[in-house]
Structure 1
């Protein structure tokens, strides 16, 4: 993994590994010598750079409008993905392949300066499918747990690194002072000390090899009316006391980059504010990293559509080091170069910007390890990270009204309703696979409904209807999961009502009419105007935007854990009070720091033992058979059977220690676990997760699958192969063969021994990867040459068996 200040070693994790592509030429120039101090290397490299090199380093373009060849031609220093911008192969491996392609373009420049790849991994690596989605910042603010936030930073860094990226635009250190603002959920809370405490995320990210970004500098949470990209009309003293402290703390932690805000301070756009950028941030606070713009924000300096050379001059002279010019990056390159040549921007300013950018690239170890480090790919969506996310969810729950909580797990019937009860998109919010996010089961995880079903004992019936239809007085309680649907900045601003919508109110009316106790779980990115309704509810829990692990909500509802969350913002009595903040003299419905609790249920010592040894056999494209070691019952009520979970959702309750699973999708990764239960309804903890990938359902293979990709340039190419054992037995040793029928020649390989005899190419395992376990995947790569045509191989054989190919 890349680590700030150190070129870390490439690790090996299981068999899902691609080592760094071939070693580069031995260092012959001082800047290529890793034994020299970073400052020495930067000075040497800077002395060798042309104006084109320097302008390129200050340019960041969006992946959708720049090619690897463009990176080479224009010496571009950074590429980014906007929200929802993903490679066509939208998998962790596909992201890593894309990263390597751009990096090859960067390393093809005369000075071989590696590029940075920027993403908004703001609550987990939320761009990449399969990643763990943690609660948004407002929920983490409710935990009051900086150590937990640091652990989340570490987990996020591992999943970011596993997908090949090296720079995230996080954390957001805004102090939200008006809940109408559509980015309130990106804030840890309304007080500077809360965001300051949570700068531990910087350590979690950067200590584990991912460059962090403190954003948005400065005052974006204090705009008049809570308008996104608006005007913060306050004194400099208030700016310094309320909005500056989190940035000061992040700088003290060594944050590598700072992103400027779209907003203005007393009418002056931040992107052109030399006093706040150069004098305060870089001078007074001593920030030594680099300053990056927000999305095309330079274009807003003169208030006219289409950015100009004058706007470029203003921004760079104000202290901007790298310009995020996602679409019009070529125009920016031309303007910046022309401005320097015309003497409008001094070369000292250009050199300062480059020195800052290059320092971070050296500290990240990119010059020694420029390519994607895939050794952490197995951590993406791992059971360990999902358990951490679940912990964060339960610690973020704020109990605002307590009537009948915690609910008993056994006996009677519970009715569950609401548009967000069974909707992973709603509970994850914006910036989840896309910029604005979306309703529906857009990501893999556990919905709040699934968490409730898993929490209760076998003697309890859970009935779910989205709009509350079908409830009657026979239910002992109703849980309504209601609130906001996903949004991000701009679309999330609320200029009018902040109440529950008509759908939610109708659902709640049906539940109340049944005469049963109603527990409201509010899924939202901010407080909502609920004062008129809360008197009709028996309990109210603020769940915020919990992410993929809805089981953490159920952990609190059923008393496995006591609620400990405290409000990170003041909860209004009515929308007319906005803005409302602690100490402003306005009477709140629930004050800042409010949060009730109750005693957690005692640990169940009578539950059966945890099943072990979970294995899968008979894996096909549509099914498999699970088996495990039986459990024992210490409570004396007798073992009643088992519960089988697929991707966290209960799918069956067999009486014996095996279960046949059908109806699976071909070539899909599933995670299975199993728990035991006794006749009294006591349940064990679940077993360790078993990950299984089904067969492809095509071709005449059946024990192996190959995914082959190639990136071509001139007369050369890089091939990447992902080989999966889809059978039920380990393959040891393994040898994969194919034909290069058009004269292609392998020149170098990594993560496997790739040899060629005529047109026959054979890849075999290294000492650490000689065995391929059932369901395991090994990835390896090689460089080669071709004579102008480089078709993909027609077929592949593994130890003589034909493989499925994709």
Structure 2
């Protein structure tokens, strides 16, 4: 098709060159997006008004006087204007009826290098000014742990904030929407009053009544989490973590479902819960998000993050290829088959090679061998840590990570430095344009397939879904099924559990009995978690009080002395102790001990009165020295906001069904120790868990 500019020169040969150039400028103005009307047909009156800018043959600007009407140019110019406007209105990438790949190709062909690099850039919300979003064409924004619009911000506050960011992105030349991401790793854990589900280690312990794994439960949890995340206007979460934690000394072990890859594989059923079920005959290995109640998921951290030496976070996973493929990779096969939209790369290394720079695994294996068609995202400042010390050579880090196959970089602060560095590397042909196009193609593919172009702006229709009753009941169910009964009575003939609801006086003790922050663990409201009533929920103490008979007296003392316990004539005691909240490297531990005064509380209380000890922790901890004094022992993991689920099982409304997703060691000197190892001699083996029958009438 002949461009409009050529037609103008052909049709106006008699005009002096300067007048023809003026005409071109006038029509260029008319073709700007701000001037074009959206409808395909213009009214004649609107067109005539715009043509006031067209000069008559005398070269002077006039209105719609007879001089211009007499000009033979008028009908030609009007026709050309009408045709060019209609032609410019239709763009394939804006047409939802076009296949996603057609839209991706059309948009990609229109983009400048700056716009492409912008799509590869993810910035923290604190740095996401309107000017930065527009100037750098930023493609993604995230909330880091604890990064919120305001303390105790409502769902409405979140939606309004995200709409402000999105409107800035939509105002750019091509109007590409940004995708907002957040860590929703056990419910929508950054948001006040959201439902907080048990951390993954607890979900790995869940079993149905017939003792089979319960992947349907995590699927329902995924759907509930997605709905609460969408209620705050967010379409993308950095979950699930499908690490296979092989050493509980690792500070992220509670983010792993199990030491056994088969359990982790079963738990990938959370992905269709988050994203929606794949339609029949859906293209294999393509990302999928069903609708406005679902989110794009992220399988992390690729690969081998749970196998680092000595359980040290971000350390080296030393294992042969067969071990990597057989232990750490199977859950990724399942995740990709289920249409996971994105994959996050691990901080860790594999046999000395940083995963953020591992082209063999990221490009050759994940993308080519496994056929993954979504986008690969870095971890927080992950590319900076390719060098030691971090950020020692940023140019090298950008080059190695992007060439390795990372598509979107969680910068998250110095977006200007990242953009400048990557631009230079591309212009100097150190990073080929084909690599940039592959990255942007994958990012746009996810955005198109999830409907972000059609519905870029969240609305307020879902704000009442955050922390809704049905979701809290689901979390309560998950808590019940996650509890693992490790001991019940000092002999098999004298079980303590279930506890009677009607008793004279009950002692509840321990630092974790009435502390919602401890109960939820890390990645709750704050990155590292916090102590106290940090969000909405029910503590274990509150749950006990609401469960027992009204005539039963409950006395709470965090760390009672022996005299107090001896003098009160308690019928029995419930001691709730465990670990403090932590996340990532802060949780790395060489000793894995219960927080003081937990051990002394156990010894004091259990030495005097019949007691059940409830351990609130993200992993097995040292308990062997205290087990003989206990009458019953329960692993509650990190149960989240719904402590009522603990009381439901302690008092017999439901039975214990949970099974250990991890080996419970005797001493830390045995670590790492996993099921199937030689000289396997645990305190409680993988898969262990006593059961009880419900006795709701007690």
**TM superposition score normalised by structure 1:** 0.71
Which structure 1 residue ranges, 5 or more long, are not aligned?
1-23, 605-681, 683-806
The aligned counterpart of 2:626 is 533
State the distance in 2 between where 1:352 and 1:436 align: 36
State the distance in 2 between where 1:550 and 1:54 align: 47
Equivalent in 322, 334, 342 of residue 428 of structure 2: 342
The aligned counterpart of 1:148 is 217
* Structure 1 contact 416–468 (Cα < 8 Å) conserved: no
Q: Deviations over 1:500-528 (max 9, x none)?
A: 23311221232134x21011000000001
Q: CA deviation at 1:575?
A: 1.1
The aligned counterpart of 2:664 is 571
Q: CA deviation at 1:498?
A: 1.6
Q: CA deviation at 1:145?
A: 1.3
State the distance in 2 between where 1:468 and 1:519 align: 16
* Structure 2 contact 296–342 (Cα < 8 Å) conserved: yes
Q: CA deviation at 1:92?
A: 1.3
State the distance in 1 between where 2:231 and 2:109 align: 34
Q: Deviations over 1:212-241 (max 9, x none)?
A: 000000000000100000000110110000
The aligned counterpart of 1:246 is 331
Greater relative contact order (CA < 8 Å, ≥ 6 in sequence): 2
The aligned counterpart of 1:477 is 572
* Structure 1 contact 278–319 (Cα < 8 Å) conserved: yes
Where does structure 1 differ by over 3 angstroms across 4 or more consecutive aligned residues? 24-27
State the distance in 1 between where 2:479 and 2:343 align: 28
Q: CA deviation at 1:474?
A: 1.1
State the distance in 1 between where 2:523 and 2:269 align: 21
State the distance in 2 between where 1:591 and 1:67 align: 52
Correspondences of 1:209-288 after superposition (within 5 Å): 209-288=294-373
State the distance in 2 between where 1:117 and 1:485 align: 30
State the distance in 2 between where 1:252 and 1:537 align: 46
* Structure 1 contact 219–265 (Cα < 8 Å) conserved: yes
Which structure 2 residue ranges, 5 or more long, are not aligned?
1-36, 40-88, 207-212, 277-292, 490-495
State the distance in 2 between where 1:212 and 1:552 align: 27
Q: CA deviation at 1:458?
A: 1.4
The aligned counterpart of 1:396 is 482
The aligned counterpart of 1:506 is 600
Number of equivalences: 579
Q: CA deviation at 1:263?
A: 0.2
The aligned counterpart of 1:521 is 614
State the distance in 2 between where 1:232 and 1:372 align: 41
Q: SS of 2:508's equivalent?
A: strand
Please say which structure displays the higher CA radius of gyration. 2
* Structure 1 contact 161–374 (Cα < 8 Å) conserved: no
State the distance in 2 between where 1:507 and 1:343 align: 65
Q: CA deviation at 1:413?
A: 1.2
The aligned counterpart of 1:492 is 587
Correspondences of 1:41-56 after superposition (within 5 Å): 41-56=103-118
State the distance in 1 between where 2:659 and 2:184 align: 25
State the distance in 2 between where 1:146 and 1:468 align: 41
The aligned counterpart of 2:251 is 182
Equivalent in 338, 361, 364 of residue 450 of structure 2: 364
Q: CA deviation at 1:25?
A: 5.1
Instruction: Supply the RMSD in Å over aligned alpha carbons.
Output: 1.3
State the distance in 1 between where 2:38 and 2:257 align: 46
The aligned counterpart of 1:413 is 505
More strand by share: 1
State the distance in 2 between where 1:377 and 1:340 align: 43
* Structure 2 contact 503–571 (Cα < 8 Å) conserved: no
Q: CA deviation at 1:186?
A: 0.2
Q: CA deviation at 1:255?
A: 0.3
Correspondences of 1:407-486 after superposition (within 5 Å): 407-469=499-561, 470-472=564-566, 474-486=569-581
State the distance in 2 between where 1:67 and 1:166 align: 20
State the distance in 2 between where 1:541 and 1:471 align: 22
* Structure 1 contact 468–508 (Cα < 8 Å) conserved: no
The aligned counterpart of 2:29 is none
* Structure 2 contact 259–674 (Cα < 8 Å) conserved: yes
State the distance in 2 between where 1:322 and 1:122 align: 20
State the distance in 1 between where 2:500 and 2:666 align: 31
* Structure 2 contact 602–626 (Cα < 8 Å) conserved: no
State the distance in 2 between where 1:595 and 1:562 align: 12
Q: Deviations over 1:577-623 (max 9, x none)?
A: 11110011320100000000111114x5xxxxxxxxxxxxxxxxxxx
Q: CA deviation at 1:209?
A: 2.1
* Structure 2 contact 128–165 (Cα < 8 Å) conserved: no
* Structure 1 contact 61–79 (Cα < 8 Å) conserved: yes
